[in-house]
């Protein structure tokens, strides 16, 4: 965000700082939504990170290499099929 072209397109600062009391650490987030507060943006990042961890666990444990579809129904169907196959193999 320090280049000449970028400074021209984005003259306002796009970083939001958030101090996490629990871990005593300051986080910096880059965002284009400066209407929201730092707390809200930090919560969005936390929720997104939980989704990433969920899919990481599913891919590791259910041996799903790629998802065939991107719709909610396609992902659910593939996860359920992998769960059913895993349970049947376990039995």
Q: Where are the domains of the chain?
A: 4-65
pTM for the whole structure: 0.51
Report whether pLDDT(78) > 70: yes
Nearest alpha carbon to residue 61 among 87, 30, 33, 41: 87
Query: Is residue 31 classed as helix, strand or coil in its secondary structure?
Result: coil
Report whether pLDDT(24) > 80: yes
Tokens standing for residue 76: 């659910």
Query: Whole-number mean pLDDT of the chain?
Result: 81
- The pLDDT of residue 17: 84
Which has more confidence, 11 or 61?
61
Query: Is residue 36 classed as helix, strand or coil in its secondary structure?
Result: coil
Average pLDDT of the residues in 50-78 = 82
- The pLDDT of residue 58: 77
């Amino acid at each position: 965000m320090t280049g000449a072209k970028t400074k021209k397109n984005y003259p306002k600062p796009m970083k939001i700082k958030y101090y996490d009391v629990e871990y005593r650490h300051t986080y910096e987030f880059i965002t284009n939504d400066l209407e929201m507060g730092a707390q809200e943006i930090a919560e969005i990042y936390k929720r997104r990170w939980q989704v990433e961890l969920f899919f990481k666990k599913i891919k590791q444990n259910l041996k799903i290499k790629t998802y065939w579809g991107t719709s909610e129904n396609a992902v659910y169907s593939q996860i359920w099929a992998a769960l059913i196959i895993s349970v049947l193999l376990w039995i």
